[in-house]
Structure formats: C-alpha cells, structure tokens
Amino acid sequence: MRWTGGSEALVLGIETSCDETSAAVVRGGRQILSNVVAGQDDLHAVFGGVVPEIASRRHTEVITLITHKALHQAQVSLAEIDLVAVTQGPGLIGSLLVGVSAAKGYAAAYGIPLVGVNHLKAHVMANFIAPPGQEPSAQQLFPTVCLLASGGHTSFILMRQFGDYQSLGETRDDAAGEALDKVARLLELGYPGGPAIEQAAAQGNPNAVALPRPHIEGSYDCSFAGLKTALARQVRETPPETTQQVADLAASFQQAVVETLVGNLPAIIQQFNAKQLIMGGGVAANQLLRQKLAEIGQSQGIPIAFPPLDLCTDNAAMVAAAGYFQAQSQGLSALDMDVFSSLPLPSYDQL
C-alpha cells in the first residue's frame, strides 16, 4: 500500500542496526525536529570492535527511553505520529530486532503505518535533511553519487531521485572503517580506530611505507583486506619501536585507504554524468578523505557535500527521512516484516 503523507507528515525514525540506539522525529522527510543518539563505544572499546550480544542488550535497555526523549524534544506525542520508519537491515540481527520490535509495538498500539528502511539508503538521505531554519548539506541535483564508508559498509551509490538508489560497487571484503579499526588495534592506538589513526597520522610520513592500492578490473568494487594484510606483514617484519614509526605506519595506511576509496570516483562521475558528489558513514569525518573529495569535485566540475558529523554516523533522523520517501514510492511494510543481516541495493548491472 502506497502512503501519501504530505509535507507536514511526522515520521518517527528508529535506528539500532549496529551500536547506536537512536530515535528521531522528522517532518515532511526533510526537517529534523529531534535526533537522539546513544552510542556504546565505552562498552566495546575494550574488545577493539562491536560485540553483537552486548550491543543488542544495551539497545534493549535504552530504546524506550531514547524514543520518549526524541518525542519529548520534538514536542509531539505518539498519537500525532503519521509513520514509523525503522532500519530493517543490513546490520546485526540481534540489534536490528530490538529496533524493529519497538517500531512494531508503537505501530500496532497506536495504529500508525510502518515502513522498514534499508540502512544504506538512510545514509544517503542524511545529506538531504536539516533542523528547522538550516539548509541540508546537499542540493537536489540528480543523479548524485554517494560514497558511503563506515565501519560496516563501503559502497558507491547512485541516487537518481529521492527513493531511487542503485549500488555501483562495494567492498569485496572489509569495510574501510573496519580496516582502520583493525589496523588501529594492531598498532595499539585504541578504538574507534579511524579517529585514532587520523590523529597518529598527523605526525607521520604517508610515503614512509609502500602499500598496495588494490584495483578490481572491470568493476567499481574495492577491497581493503589485502591492504590490511600488507600493513600487518610490515609490522611483523619490522615492529615499530618509536612513536614516529607508529605515526609513519598510520599515515601510510590512512593514505592508502583514502586513495583506494576515491580511486573509482572520477570514472563513476563521468560514466553516470553525476551532478553532485556526497558522503555518508563515519569515515566521512576523515580530513584527508574530505580533502581528496574536494579535489575530485573541483577537477570534475561538480559540487561536493558532507553531512555534519552527527548525520554522517548512524542516526534515526536519516532513517525517518528515507522511510518517508520509501513509503511514498514503494509502499508500507506489514507488521510481520523481518530483519536482514544483508540487504543489498539493486546493483547497476542487474538492471
């Protein structure tokens, strides 16, 4: 069933796909009235990565509180909500189940329509939303290409319109953020690894250690596992003994990850005649990546846009916005909808 919410429709978004518990209220698919995010880095740091069972337990503890906080901040009641949008995948199954169960509960108890959202589409939508009185980071220029790079995902997504997304390529193994997190652990820099590597790299020489730039012929897919293994071999053969040597390794690895991430973008922009380049995912915080993207935008003659950091990382406002457009273009979900650890977007070569 298609949903016909208007520009004033209030969407309650819920996001629990990984280790952030988040709820938000978004008006008309574009205007953020509230966006409450509770992270769990403190719980997972000691393990150097997200522990799924711990993540879902924490979601269970805080989901009701976070949802009520989001409603309170937006000054709306559940009875005023027109649509509940929730991430149904991809993500950790136990974590997804907590958000989807909560969303189903609100939908059933208050008779609100429900829509299950693809987390990847939500990251793209983060570029097109903003609080009242502020402009979204991206313009409505289509087609737009989005580089999505987080701890769980690395994809190149073509957005032809709101609600219309195709995957042009993705990582064949580790996500970019995952590779940064693993190498940070190897270099004993802490968790999350991306910011730790970036900080250490600031004092290092990016050309100190020769690392590969993996390229997959005939495809826009990318790969980070070989890069990570090359760095691990280097550390095994010549263990760093000084802070400077660690910084050099961090800088060389960061440079290799960023160059691998942006390597396909000029060809993608040209092939699809993209009018804008945008970003999503926690790795978008990286300054070197932002600088390289700015250079690509300039050389290709198209604008680039980054959401503010709180919208780059996992949050429910982007889920609410994606749900608003999805319910209009593809319809609602049933109360017995499922969760999916893998939920690929339609890929370009399947069309």
Provide the binding-site residues for ligand KG4, judged by CB under 6 A. 18, 150-152, 177, 180-181, 192-195, 198, 281-283, 285-286, 313-314
CB of 87 or CB of 276, closer to ligand KG4: 87
CB of 198 or CB of 314, closer to Zn ion: 314
DSSP class of residue 85 equals: E
Taking the C-alpha atoms of residue 38 and residue 42, their distance in angstroms, rounded to an integer, is: 11
Considering CB distances under 5 to 8 angstroms, the limit depending on partner class, which of Zn ion, ligand KG4, none binds residue 130? none
CB of 150 or CB of 276, closer to Zn ion: 150
CB of 26 or CB of 322, closer to Zn ion: 322
Taking the C-alpha atoms of residue 41 and residue 19, their distance in angstroms, rounded to an integer, is: 8
Taking the C-alpha atoms of residue 217 and residue 293, their distance in angstroms, rounded to an integer, is: 22
Q: In whole angstroms, how close is the CB of 119 to Zn ion at the nearest point?
A: 6
Backbone angles phi, psi at 328, to 5 degrees: -75, -40
CB of 27 or CB of 153, closer to ligand KG4: 153
Q: Which of 273, 272, 264, 271 is nearest to 296 (CA)?
A: 264
**Strands annotated E in the chain:** 10-15, 21-27, 31-38, 83-89, 114-118, 144-149, 154-161, 164-170, 276-280, 304-305
Backbone angles phi, psi at 50, to 5 degrees: -75, 130
Considering CB distances under 5 to 8 angstroms, the limit depending on partner class, which of Zn ion, ligand KG4, none binds residue 170? none
CB of 58 or CB of 247, closer to Zn ion: 58
The Cβ of residue 12 has, within 10 Å, a number of other Cβ atoms equal to 32
Considering CB distances under 5 to 8 angstroms, the limit depending on partner class, which of ligand KG4, Zn ion, none binds residue 247? none
Question: Which positions touch Zn ion (CB under 5 A)?
Answer: 150, 314
Q: In whole angstroms, how close is the CB of 314 to Zn ion at the nearest point?
A: 4
Considering CB distances under 5 to 8 angstroms, the limit depending on partner class, which of Zn ion, ligand KG4, none binds residue 286? ligand KG4
Q: In whole angstroms, how close is the CB of 303 to ligand KG4 at the nearest point?
A: 22
Q: In whole angstroms, how close is the CB of 27 to Zn ion at the nearest point?
A: 23
Sign of CA dihedral 258, 259, 260, 261: positive
Which residues, 6+ apart, have CB-to-CB distance to 108 below 8 Å?
Answer: 335
Do 138 and 334 form a contact (C-beta atoms < 8 A)? Answer: no
Give Cα 240 to chain centroid, integer Å. 32
Q: In whole angstroms, how close is the CB of 275 to ligand KG4 at the nearest point?
A: 25
Considering CB distances under 5 to 8 angstroms, the limit depending on partner class, which of ligand KG4, Zn ion, none binds residue 307? none
Q: In whole angstroms, how close is the CB of 123 to Zn ion at the nearest point?
A: 6
Q: In whole angstroms, how close is the CB of 315 to Zn ion at the nearest point?
A: 9
CB of 181 or CB of 221, closer to ligand KG4: 181
CB of 81 or CB of 284, closer to ligand KG4: 284
Considering CB distances under 5 to 8 angstroms, the limit depending on partner class, which of ligand KG4, Zn ion, none binds residue 206? none
Q: In whole angstroms, how close is the CB of 150 to Zn ion at the nearest point?
A: 5
Do 285 and 195 form a contact (C-beta atoms < 8 A)? Answer: yes
Backbone angles phi, psi at 158, to 5 degrees: -100, 125
Considering CB distances under 5 to 8 angstroms, the limit depending on partner class, which of Zn ion, ligand KG4, none binds residue 136? none
